[in-house]
Amino acid sequence: NMKFRGTKAALAVLVSGALVLSACSSGDEAEDGAKPAASETAIGGDNPCARDAGIKETADGQVVYSPGPGKWDGYNTLTSRTNSVYNSVVMDQVLGNFVYFGTDGTICEDKEFGSFEVVSQDPLEMKYTISDKAKWSDGTPITINDFLLGWASQNPEFVAPGLISGANEEAEAVFDHVSTVWAEQVPEGPQGEINGKTFTMKFKGAYPDYKITVDPPLPAHVVATKSGLTPDQLAQAIQNRDGETVRKVAEFWNKKWIFNPGELPEPDVIPSSNRYQIKAWKDNNVTLEANPNYWGTPAGTKNLVFSYVDDNQMAQSLQNGDLDVIRPQATVDTVDTLKGMGSSVNMSTYSELTWEHLDFNFRDNNVFSDSQGGQKLREAFAYCIPRQTIVDNIIKPIDPNATVMNVREAFPGDADYETLTSASYDGRYDTVDIEKAKQLVAESGVQTPVKVRLGYRAGNQRRTETVQAIQSSCKDAGFNVEDAAKEDFFAKDLKNGDYEVALYAWSSSNQIATGQNIMSSGRQQNYGKYSNPVVDEAWDKVTNTLDRGEQVEQLKVIEKQAWDTLFNIPLYAHPAVVAWKSKIKNVRPTATQVTVSWNAYQWRMK
């Protein structure tokens, strides 16, 4: 699950404009957003942000949560290897920031960490103030230094000349960061005194996702000292645009915060800036402990354990007491099992801000590329995908309100969904048309049967069933669809283009600009290498206006191009199931990619 330059996050961290690959959570991969249907626990309610839970001190004991069958492997969740929900759910509790996602995608402020304000709209300029009390668990104050490193790690021009500007096609990233949005949108970076608690940022234009441009900071003092510099030398080098010095810390930033299973480094390498710190890691369990040096409202329960359990074992583990809160993949069997547990368990089903899609591979060596079967072959494949059947058989039994999704930049039920759909899509692929598909395969000139490796992350029942439905429908049109599931699909096959069609999801939590990183030419999360100058130009306009009307006009252009050239085929918004022991209080489901553990620091036993 990765994010990159101008990113649409796949279930990932709140990263400057990156999307998180939601391959992560609950055996799914994801990256964008819709309003969940009301359920037993309505999402958000009156206040989608954290509520005061009345916690005055930390209670003894532990609460165990399973985010799914992935694994935790890093303190730095911003690299191409670690940018997944499975990592970010843990680090959200350990690394603080100015903002977080509320249950419906609202951007909330963490006033205990600090505050920010817009000081000028034209040009857009913001001022950030870090709390005077905010410090790392080792006692080091949290300052501008940490944010300077965060910005520099996105490979601004002085670090990797020509990478963001595009002036050098051969330019390679120095820091393996999934996004370049912060460095791109704020070319001069954070401005302020070294070691200071305030800084300002001037944007190059009117960037609509300006509130979430800043990544949760990593400890600059650790990177500096472990790389042979003093903290002041590193901060000064960033302010002086001394690329040679800054590049010295890239090795540590890229590799030393990614760990082998069960092997934690010394505590001084992984300090906390939030309510929990990393305590232990054994087998599939990561144990966090309340941070005794946290300056604000304390954690609700002393230990919070993230236990990575297979989806099909979660309900049983909840019943026998090994788990307290679960977020399994939403299947009919799971929902029925949980319903059968009676009043000892609370359950919530709803729709998430994560959408499933099929992506074509546009690389020249690929049969769907414009140099081979091209547009005709992509259309042929689109005509044989049984989208309605997939939703009816796999999704509706869990979420009766589920519909086939027909655009990428809005969810069914969003205010702009119908506007974008009617401007871009005429319904031609709503029903399977095998005769039309056959005719287009013939016109494409590609010999049948056409081999299509449909790649996805292994271990996902819903995706396996989706592939089976596509196999049986498309075989009559001349496609031999191969189930190409792999354990390391995200780390390897997706990045390397080792597939004809990829099946995964993006989570965007109502962000506006994240799609640029997925669709625009040469962007980090544009895994299929799609390139369309009309789309590139429209995204440049979307990411430079705060006017919603203007954004929607450009999104219409983007969606129409995406359908006309078949960038990808959207399927549905993800259904979600969350369940927890009724003795655990303050659990609040969320439609966003941060998962139900977003407020786990408030969970406690009744």
Q: What is the pLDDT of residue 43?
A: 60
Tokens of 407: 């655009």
Q: What is the DSSP-derived secondary structure letter of residue 382?
A: H
**Mean pLDDT in the chain?**
91
Q: How far is CA 168 from CA 48, 66, 160, 164, 173, in A?
A: 44, 44, 10, 9, 12
Would you say residue 16 has pLDDT above 50? Answer: no
Residues 6+ apart with CB under 8 A from 512: 208, 209, 542, 551
DSSP state of 147: H
Identify the pLDDT of residue 34.
29
Task: Kindly tell me if the per-residue pLDDT of 545 is higher than 70.
Answer: yes
Q: Which of 40-49, 267-276, 362-371 has the lowest mean pLDDT?
A: 40-49
pLDDT value, residue 46? 74
Tokens of 302: 């002393």
Residue 4 token pair:
């990159």
Residue 523: per-residue pLDDT: 85
CA distances, 226 to each of 243, 271, 350 (Å): 18, 14, 45
User: How far is residue 184's CA from residue 215's CA, in Å, rounded to a whole number?
Assistant: 14
pLDDT in tens, 171-189: 999 999 988 999 999 999 9
CA distances in angstroms from 529 to 207, 307, 360, 381, 525, listed in the order given: 25, 36, 9, 19, 9
Tokens of 260: 């082998």
User: Which range is least confidently modeled, 117-121, 251-255, 491-495, 500-504?
Assistant: 491-495
Identify the three-state secondary structure at position 26: helix
pLDDT digits (tens, 9 = 90+) for 434-468: 999 999 999 999 999 999 999 998 888 899 999 99
Q: What is the pLDDT of residue 87?
A: 93
Residue labelled with tokens 């519909």: 403
pTM here is 0.86
What pLDDT shows up at residue 22?
A: 41
Tell which residue, 180, 190, 192, has the closest CA to residue 156: 180
Q: Which SS3 state, helix, strand or coil, does residue 20 take?
A: strand
Q: How far apart are CA 593 and CA 598, in angstroms?
A: 9
pLDDT of residue 491 exceeding 60, the answer is yes
Region 501-526 average pLDDT: 87
Mean pLDDT for the stretch of residues 345-372: 95
Both structure tokens of 571: 């399927």
How far is 140 from 193, CA to CA, in rounded Å?
Answer: 16
Please report, rounded to a whole number, the percentage of residues in the chain having pLDDT higher than 70. Answer: 92
pLDDT value of residue 44: 57
Output the six-digit token pair for 200. 């300002």
Alpha-carbon distance of 50 to 598, in angstroms, equals 9
Residue 514 — very low, low, confident or very high, per pLDDT cuts 50/70/90?
A: confident
pLDDT digits (tens, 9 = 90+) for 193-241: 999 999 999 999 999 999 999 999 999 999 999 999 999 999 999 999 9
Please tell me the predicted confidence (pLDDT) of residue 147: 98
Amino acid 14: pLDDT: 42
pLDDT tens string 28-83: 333 222 233 333 344 656 789 999 999 999 999 999 999 998 889 899 999 988 88
